[in-house]
C-alpha cells in the first residue's frame, strides 16, 4: 500500500472512482466504433464467408490478452506509466508511455475523421468540415473536462442507445439468403488467421484499461465484467458478420464499403423510411466514447509523466486534433490512417505479453537484490 501512496497522481479520491460493473461498458463501448460499420468487407476479402470463425478466434485471443493485462496491472499496482517506470526507469519508461499517448491520440483521431467521412459520403457531401469538426471536438472537450466519471456515463449511455440499433439487424435477415452460411470451412488456416488479424483491428480498444485501471473501485472484482464486455463485443461482431453474410453475396460484399449502413437502407416503418440517416445520427453516441476515452487516456499520460495539469493538455490536444481533422480528406488517406492505427493497435496488443514477461523478470531481479 505504501508503494501506491508514493506515486503521485495515482491516489484517486473515492468519489472519482467507478464501480467494477462499469468496466463492462468501458471495454465494450471502446471496442465498438466506426469499425463495425464496414469491417465485414475486409474480413471477406481475406477469408470469404468463413470469416465468422476468425471473429470467434479474435475474441478468444482478446480474452487471453485481457487476462494478461489484469496480471500486469495487479502486480504493477497502478497504470501503464507506473509499470513502465518500474521496469525501464524514469526516462525510457516515460518515453514508452508517451508512445502510448501518441497511440491513444491516433485512435481518437481515426474515429473523428472516419465519422466525418461517413457523414460526407452518406448524408452531406457538402459538409463544412471545419465547422463540424470544431463543434464535435468542442463537444468532446466538454465531456472530457467532466472527468472520468462523465466519460463512463457516456459509455453507459452509448451502450444503452446502441441496443435498439442492434434490433435493426432483423430487417436484413428477413430479406437475406439464410442458406449462405453453412458450417463448411472452405478456406485454409492462413486465410482464416489473416482475417483474424483483420478482425482484431476492429476489436482494439481494451488497452485503455491500462490507463483507467486505477479508477476502478475494487479492481479485482472488475475482471469478470471486463471479460463479459469482450464476450459481448465478440457476440455483437459475430451477429453483425452473420447478418451481413446473409444479406450480401460474397462478391457483392467486396464492393460495399459500409455494409451495415447499406443494410440499414432497407429498414422501413410506416412513418419513416431509409433508416440509414437515423442510424448514422445515432452512431454519434457509439463513437463518442471512443473519442472521449481516447482523448482522456492520451492526455492523462502527459499528466502522469510530466506532472502537469490535464486541463491544459486536453485543450492543447483538442487544438492539435482539430487541424489535421479538417485538412485530411479523401478515401485513400483515411484508409491509410485507419490501417496505421489498426497496425499500431496490433503491435500494442502484442507488446502486452512482452511487457508481462519483462515485468515478471524485473520483479524477480528486484526480489533477489
Partner 1 sequence: MWKWKRKEKQQQPQQQEKKKQNGTLSEFIQAMQESEDFVHYNLSGSTRCTISYLKTMCDSQVLNRSVLSTLNQKSLPTLRDMQESIPVENVRVTSKLDLIEEKVMYGYIMIQLHEKDEEVVLVPAISLESRNVSIPEVEFSVVGPKEAFVETMNTNINLIRKRLPLPQLTIKEMNVGKVTKTRVAVIYIDGIVNQDNVDTVQQRLKGIEVDQLTDSSFITQIIADNSNSPFPQLLDTERPDRVVSNLVEGKVAILIDGSPHALTCPTTVVEFFGASDDYFLPWHLATAFRLIRLFAVIFSVLSTPLYVAVLTYHHEMIPAALMATIVSSRSDIPFPPILEVIVLELTIELLREAGARLPTKIGQTIGIVGGIVIGTAAVDAGLTSNVLLIIVALSALASFTTPIYQIGNTIRLIRFPFLIGAQLWGLIGVSMCMVYFIGHLIKLQSIGRPFFEPLYPLRIKDLKDAFIRLPFNKQTERPVLMRTEDPQRMNQSRVNAKRDIDE
Partner 2 sequence: MKIKKTFLILLSVLLLTGCLPSKSVEENAIVQIVGYDVGEDERIQGTVSIPQYGKSEDKQAASELYLTVDADSTKDVEVEIQKQSSKPISIGKLAVTLYSKELAETDLGDIVDVLSRDPRLSRNMFLGIVEGSSRELIESGFTQDETTSKHLQGLIENNTRHNFPSTSLHDFLYAYYAEGMDPFLPMLKKRESFVELSGVAFFKKGMLVAEVPDTKIFTFKMLKENFTRGMQDLPFEGGTIMMDNIGSKVDYNISGPMDNPTFDIKISLKAEVNEMAGVDRNASPQLAKEMEDKFVEYFNKETAELISLFKEKGIDPLGIGNFTKTRRKDFDLTKWQGHYADLEVNVIVDVQITEYGIFS
Q: Which of 61, 99, 239, 278 binds partner 1 (CB under 8 A)?
A: 278
Q: Does 37 bind partner 1 (CB under 8 A)?
A: no
Q: Does 131 bind partner 2 (CB under 8 A)?
A: yes
DSSP string, 319-330: HHHHHHHHH--S
Q: Which of residues 169-208 bind partner 2 (CB under 8 A)?
A: 175, 177, 179-182, 184-186
Q: Which of 90, 224, 274, 311 binds partner 1 (CB under 8 A)?
A: 274
Three cell numbers, residue 263: 443494410
Residue corresponding to grid cell 457531401: 125
Stretch that binds partner 2, among 31-39, 101-109, 208-216, 258-266 (CB under 8 A): 258-266
Three cell numbers, residue 332: 485513400
Q: Does 74 bind partner 2 (CB under 8 A)?
A: no
Residue 142 interacts with, from partner 2, partner 1, none (CB under 5-8 Å by kind) = partner 1
Three cell numbers, residue 55: 471473429
Stretch that binds partner 1, among 1-9, 166-174, 280-288, 324-332 (CB under 8 A): 280-288
Cα separation, 210 vs 67, whole angstroms = 12
Q: Does 156 bind partner 1 (CB under 8 A)?
A: yes
Question: Which residues, other chains included, contact 185 with Cβ-Cβ below 8 Å and sequence gap of 6+?
Answer: 50, 53, 192
The three-state secondary structure class of 17 is coil
Short-list 77, 291, 305, 139, CA closest to 205? 291
Nearer to partner 1, 260 or 341 (CB): 260
Nearer to partner 2, 220 or 273 (CB): 273
- 216 φ/ψ angles, rounded to the nearest 5 degrees: -95, 130
- CA 30 vs. chain centroid, Å, equals 4
Three cell numbers, residue 130: 471545419
Biggest CA–CA distance in the chain, Å, is: 74
Q: Does 271 bind partner 1 (CB under 8 A)?
A: yes
- Fill in the DSSP letter of residue 215: G
Q: Which of 288, 301, 321, 349 binds partner 1 (CB under 8 A)?
A: 288
Q: Is the dihedral of CA 204, 209, 210, 211 positive or negative?
A: positive
Q: Which of 37, 53, 57, 119 binds partner 1 (CB under 8 A)?
A: 119
Short-list 23, 29, 267, CA closest to 155? 29
Q: Provide the terminal-to-terminal Cα distance of the chain, rounded to the nearest Å.
A: 21
Stretch that binds partner 2, among 14-22, 132-140, 148-156, 285-293 (CB under 8 A): 132-140
Residue 29 interacts with, from partner 2, partner 1, none (CB under 5-8 Å by kind) = none
Cα separation, 260 vs 281, whole angstroms = 14
Q: Which of 67, 88, 134, 285 binds partner 2 (CB under 8 A)?
A: 134
Residue 177 interacts with, from partner 2, partner 1, none (CB under 5-8 Å by kind) = partner 2
Q: Does 139 bind partner 1 (CB under 8 A)?
A: yes
The three-state secondary structure class of 256 is coil
Site residues for partner 2 per CB under 8 A = 49, 121-122, 124, 126-128, 131-132, 134-135, 138, 175, 177, 179-182, 184-186, 248-252, 254-255, 262, 265-266, 268, 273-274
Which residues are at the interface with partner 1 (CB under 8 A)?
18-19, 21, 119, 123-124, 127, 132, 135-136, 139, 142-143, 146, 149-150, 152-154, 156-157, 268, 270-274, 277-278, 280-282, 284-285, 288
Amino acid at each position: 500500500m505504501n508503494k501506491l501512496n508514493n506515486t503521485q497522481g495515482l491516489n484517486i479520491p473515492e468519489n472519482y472512482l467507478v464501480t467494477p460493473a462499469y468496466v463492462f461498458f468501458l471495454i465494450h463501448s471502446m471496442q465498438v466504433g466506426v469499425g463495425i460499420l464496414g469491417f465485414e468487407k475486409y474480413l471477406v476479402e481475406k477469408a470469404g464467408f468463413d470469416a465468422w470463425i476468425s471473429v470467434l478466434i479474435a475474441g478468444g485471443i482478446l480474452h487471453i490478452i485481457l487476462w494478461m493485462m489484469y496480471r500486469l496491472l495487479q502486480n504493477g499496482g497502478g497504470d501503464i506509466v507506473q509499470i513502465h517506470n518500474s521496469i525501464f526507469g524514469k526516462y525510457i519508461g516515460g518515453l514508452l508511455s508517451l508512445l502510448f499517448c501518441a497511440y491513444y491520440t491516433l485512435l481518437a483521431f481515426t474515429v473523428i475523421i472516419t465519422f466525418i467521412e461517413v457523414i460526407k459520403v452518406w448524408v452531406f457531401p457538402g459538409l463544412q468540415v471545419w465547422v463540424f469538426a470544431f463543434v464535435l471536438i468542442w463537444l468532446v472537450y466538454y465531456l472530457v473536462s467532466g472527468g472520468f466519471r462523465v466519460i463512463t456515463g457516456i459509455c453507459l449511455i452509448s451502450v444503452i442507445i446502441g441496443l435498439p440499433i442492434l434490433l435493426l439487424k432483423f430487417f436484413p435477415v428477413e430479406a437475406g439468403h439464410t442458406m449462405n452460411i453453412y458450417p463448411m470451412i472452405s478456406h485454409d488456416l492462413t486465410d482464416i488467421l489473416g482475417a483474424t488479424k483483420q478482425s482484431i483491428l476492429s476489436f482494439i480498444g481494451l488497452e485503455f484499461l491500462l490507463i483507467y485501471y486505477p479508477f476502478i473501485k475494487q479492481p479485482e472484482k472488475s475482471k469478470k465484467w471486463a471479460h463479459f464486455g469482450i464476450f459481448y463485443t465478440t457476440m455483437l461482431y459475430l451477429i453483425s458478420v452473420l447478418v451481413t453474410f446473409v444479406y450480401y453475396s460474397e462478391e457483392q460484399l467486396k464492393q460495399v464499403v459500409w455494409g451495415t449502413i447499406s443494410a440499414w437502407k432497407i429498414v422501413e416503418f410506416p412513418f419513416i423510411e431509409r433508416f440509414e440517416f437515423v442510424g448514422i445520427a445515432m452512431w454519434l453516441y457509439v463513437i463518442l466514447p471512443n473519442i472521449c476515452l481516447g482523448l482522456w487516456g492520451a492526455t492523462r499520460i502527459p499528466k502522469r509523466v510530466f506532472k502537469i495539469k490535464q486541463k491544459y493538455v486536453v485543450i492543447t490536444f483538442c487544438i492539435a486534433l482539430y487541424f489535421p481533422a479538417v485538412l485530411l480528406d479523401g478515401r485513400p488517406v483515411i484508409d491509410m490512417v485507419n490501417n496505421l492505427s489498426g497496425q499500431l493497435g496490433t503491435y500494442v496488443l502484442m507488446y502486452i505479453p512482452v511487457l508481462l514477461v519483462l515485468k515478471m523478470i524485473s520483479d524477480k531481479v528486484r526480489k533477489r537484490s
